[in-house]
Amino acid sequence: MNYSPEEVGVGKYVSEMTEWLASRGHDLKVVTTSPHYPEWKVRNGYNSRIYSYQSKAGVGIWRCPFFVPCNPSGIKRILYMTSFIFFSFPVMLWQVFWRPNVVWVVEPALICAPTALLVAKLVGAKTWLHVQDFEVDAAFDLGILRGALIYRWVLSAEHLILRSFERVSTISRRMLMLLDKKGVSGNRSLLFLNWANLEAVIENDASSIKLRNDLGISVGTTVALYSGSMGAKQGLLILAGAARLLRSEPSLKFVFCGDGVGRSELMANCVDLPNVMFLDFQPAELLGALLRMADIHLLPQRADVADLLMPSKLTGMLASGRPVVATAEINTELAEVVSMCGIVVSPGDVLAFSQAIADLMAEPSRRYKLGNIGRNYAEVNFSKDNILSKFEQDIIQLASE
């Protein structure tokens, strides 16, 4: 349901993946919606009421009508997903005449999986499900869905879907362990990490210095940056709490960049704080400059989604060579990674979160050391070409079985 020109989350990675594969000579078709995330509003130049087709970077893109809720919770979120299934169904059936070798679908939204399985069955194609978020578990943990009967029914449906795919991949080792608990193991389960565009975040600070100047951030100011979607999973109000506790620090600036359903509440909690600046999503060509502009990256996360997802924004943070302050339970994979190159505190602990920011602000040499560790980790683990080359080998092997 998410694709370019969306700059964050699933849309970013799916579009980069397909364009990379197209550049290698593969033939791809994408069935998706009009760009709408994380604003939950269809962007200018697109229409959510009509079908459209375009070719971009060698990829054929079908965009289908769908319902866009301005407040995506409960029944509205279900209508949002089912509307896409309804309107995408004829487009998916049309792909039978194209006869793909592999039908690949990403979760969220898992509700797309049955249609993908049907099309694959009709043409004898292989099937691959990629799990970016365990949305079923997260939906109940976050209170989006409720009720014991609904929970048992949805889990049964998830189990049936997972069992039906020939390959199921996910983005972290802890999530891979959860797949095993859900009955997907052996050669059916694979690790398919998110990557960082390492070349876009280079050791050249000229563009980041210019961005700081354009934003009116004076030399010597420490920038604590949150950049990404602003939704229910992030626990964003800890950002406002930290900014309030540290408002007397004259050389500290909080920059919150992004959009989503949680932005308005965050802004309301920061309305009287002069040390806070809000930015809209920056153009893709400025992403490297934005990430390098930071002295400290902020990564809040709610405890109740621990190990159900791995924040996609983390790869860019590490690639920027800047330390990270994250909220995570100590035994989660997020905590294991960030503890090497930043500071981890308990979710919701605004005092500890604020103290971690203050400590890094006071120790530039420590920031430099932790940032370099993060950059080195990203170079070893999050190289785009290495990750996608391995994925290409895996998907070719699947198609040839």
pLDDT tens per residue across span 202-235: 655 678 888 899 999 988 899 999 998 887 666 7
Output the pLDDT for position 204: 55
Here the tokens at position 369 are: 């050391």
Domains of the chain: 9-196+383-400 (3.40.50.2000), 200-381 (3.40.50.2000)
Of the candidate ranges 199-213, 265-279, 367-381, the one whose mean pLDDT is the lowest: 199-213
Q: What is the mean pLDDT of residues 247-275?
A: 92
Output the pLDDT for position 306: 60
Element (H, E) at 225: strand 222-227
> In sequence order, what E strands does 275-391 have?
276-279, 296-299, 324-327, 342-345
Scan for tokens 């059916």, then name that residue.
188
If pLDDT is split at 50, 70 and 90, which confidence band does 307 have?
low
φ, ψ at 395 (rounded to 5°): -75, -30
Q: What is the mean pLDDT of residues 362-389?
A: 94
The residues, ordered by sequence, that sit 6+ positions from 230 with a Cβ below 8 Å of its Cβ are 38, 236, 256, 258, 259, 260, 261, 262, 263, 266
Say if residues 41 and 281 touch (Cβ distance below 8 Å).
no
Element (H, E) at 190: strand 189-191
Scan for tokens 């590490």, then name that residue.
318
Question: In this predicted model, which residue has the larger pLDDT, 117 or 76?
Answer: 117
If pLDDT is split at 50, 70 and 90, which confidence band does 310 have?
confident
Element (H, E) at 14: helix 9-23
Output the pLDDT for position 49: 95
Q: Considering the chain, what percentage of its residues have pLDDT values greater than 70?
A: 95
Scan for tokens 């920038």, then name that residue.
223
Q: 122-139: per-residue pLDDT in tens?
A: 999 999 999 998 877 776
Beta-ladder partners of 128 = 104, 167
Here the tokens at position 256 are: 């919150």
Q: 64-74: per-residue pLDDT in tens?
A: 999 998 877 77
Question: In this predicted model, which residue has the larger pLDDT, 241 or 108?
Answer: 241
Whether 304 shows a pLDDT value over 70: the answer reads no
Q: Is the peptide bond before 109 cis (omega within 30 degrees of 0)?
A: yes
Whether 151 shows a pLDDT value over 80: the answer reads no
Task: Name the pTM for this structure.
Answer: 0.84
Whether 190 shows a pLDDT value over 60: the answer reads yes
Q: 16-61: per-residue pLDDT in tens?
A: 999 999 999 999 999 999 999 888 899 999 999 999 999 999 999 9
Q: How far apart are CA 344 and CA 247, in angstroms?
A: 22
Specify whether the backbone of 156 is left (phi greater than 0), alpha (psi in -120 to 50) or beta. Answer: alpha
Instruction: Sheet with 28-32: list strands edge to edge.
Output: 28-32, 59-63, 52-56
Output the pLDDT for position 174: 87
How many CA atoms, within 13 angstroms, populate the side-chain half-sphere of residue 167?
23
Q: Considering the chain, what percentage of its residues have pLDDT values greater than 90?
A: 63
Whether 309 shows a pLDDT value over 70: the answer reads no
Q: How far apart are CA 270 and CA 254, in angstroms?
A: 10
Here the tokens at position 108 are: 């969220």
Beta-ladder partners of 31 = 62
Nearest to 276 by CA among 231, 327, 208, 221: 221
